[in-house]
Amino acid sequence: MEEGKMDWALSALQWFVDLGAVVVLPILIFIFGIVLGAKRGKAFISALTVGIGFIGLNLVIDLLTNNLGPAAQQMVERFGLNLTVIDVGWPAAAAISYGSILGTLAIPIGVAINVVLLIFGLTKTLNVDIWNIWHAAFIASLVYALTNNFLMGILATVVYIMMILLFGDLLGPIIKKFYGFPNLTFPHGTAAPGFIIALPFEWLFNRIPGIKNWKADPDTIQDKFGVFGNSAVVGFIIGLAIGLLAGYDVAALGQLAVSTAAVMILLPRMVALLMEGLTPISEAANEFVKKRFPGRELYIGMDAALSVGHPAVLSSSLLLVPITIFLAVILPGNSTIPFGDLATIPFLVCLMAPVFNGNIIRTVIAGTFYMVSVLYITSWVAPLVTQAAISANFDLEGNSAITALAEGGLWTTGMYVGITQLMGWIGLTVIGLIVLGGLYYVNKVLPGKKADLKDINES
């Protein structure tokens, strides 16, 4: 009987998630708005505006992927890549992740851990982006494929959820400063790892003569190059270059160039609409926390899609598309054909750009080195991804080995697979303890140190 109730609850949760982000997100925003003390009418309008903004955001992202994807694939064919592992893209990875019992359990585990950590003050992040918990399910599926141990897969899910909330806590102030999104963060499995990668590069760039003085943010570029520095013109030129590399004819070339220019202008406006809906909920959350938990902050965890519309992110990621294909050709030992996730590169670099304060040159240089690691890791992990896909009854469509570049090649994926392979239970436990220590330090120790510093400065 209890097992039947559990199955029913999991099925109901899966049904709710399957409604899609454009339905699930407004419902969650409305519920959180009411819980946080917002008036029903205001909460409803906010939730509806968020849903409309998210639809607009997805439409513009689809415009990018539907135009950039075929162009990138055409470049792959022109380069004549003859590699063994096909990149099927993140939608396939998400389907594989949610195609098992472990995947189904990832969402309730993620929500439960988030609530417990919030209660004990060990995170500032309230993650409403529950659909993207598939990233945790993806890691769990690889650990299970490696060990054939269900409980180890559950442990990997728990540790990953805590890690991504820690990333959310760290990112909150940076997102507010760079993107201007108050009380918002992105505990997003594809985007957050890039933030960590960017930190040592920023330290290095600041110590290299010449490079440390280069100003290459979108505003500086527009000031220096006039009309050629305009976001739409930059998008047009990059789209034109990608089309030429793909061997497009004049009509296809023009369509790609204008579509890329349109994305550069439309994406930030869709983000602004979505933020219009989120602002009242963010304000209500801030007031709720101030009244009940003085001295604490609360970040609303959202999809990193809100950040990909920044001109520095789009410009850098579009330049990285042909660079990634070129790397796949020349890197010895690489077996991955970049394909489905080439249009997802904006998500890989969207949280690198804030570290570099929007510097496009720094983002492209660091992004190039990042893509080298992504190609090598995804080639190494591909057998496990393929095994997980077979276990989830995913159609390989005749391919002998598959992967998803923007998830299967991340350093976090390599870390979990490598540690599990070397140390098993002990390795995952060690990662979990380190992450828990990080959460404690960021949320318990660091605020006290900041307060002491503030008192000293005031004195």
Is the separation of the CB atoms in 109 and 158 below 8 Å? Answer: yes
d(CA 55, CA 53): 5
| pLDDT tens, residue by residue, 410-435 | 999 999 999 999 999 999 999 999 99
| pLDDT tens, residue by residue, 161-199 | 999 999 999 999 999 999 888 888 999 999 999 999 999
| pLDDT tens, residue by residue, 289-344 | 777 777 778 898 888 888 887 888 888 888 888 888 889 888 998 888 887 787 78
**What are the residue ranges in the chain where pLDDT is below 70?**
1-10, 13-14, 17-18, 20-21, 80-82, 219-229, 397-398, 448-459
pLDDT of the residue at 7: 63
Of 154, 141, 65, nearest in space to 108 by CA: 154
Number of Cβ atoms within 10 Å of the Cβ of 221: 23
d(CA 362, CA 92): 31
pTM of the model: 0.82
pLDDT of the residue at 457: 40
Task: Give Cα separations from 26 to 34, 52, 146, 336 (angstroms).
Answer: 12, 9, 37, 38
d(CA 264, CA 297): 33
pLDDT of the residue at 1: 44
CB within 8 A of 43, min separation 6: which ones?
Answer: 29, 30, 33, 34, 280, 281, 284
DSSP 266-304: HHHHHHHHHHHHHHHHHHHHHHHHHHHSTT---EEE--G
Number of Cβ atoms within 10 Å of the Cβ of 24: 19
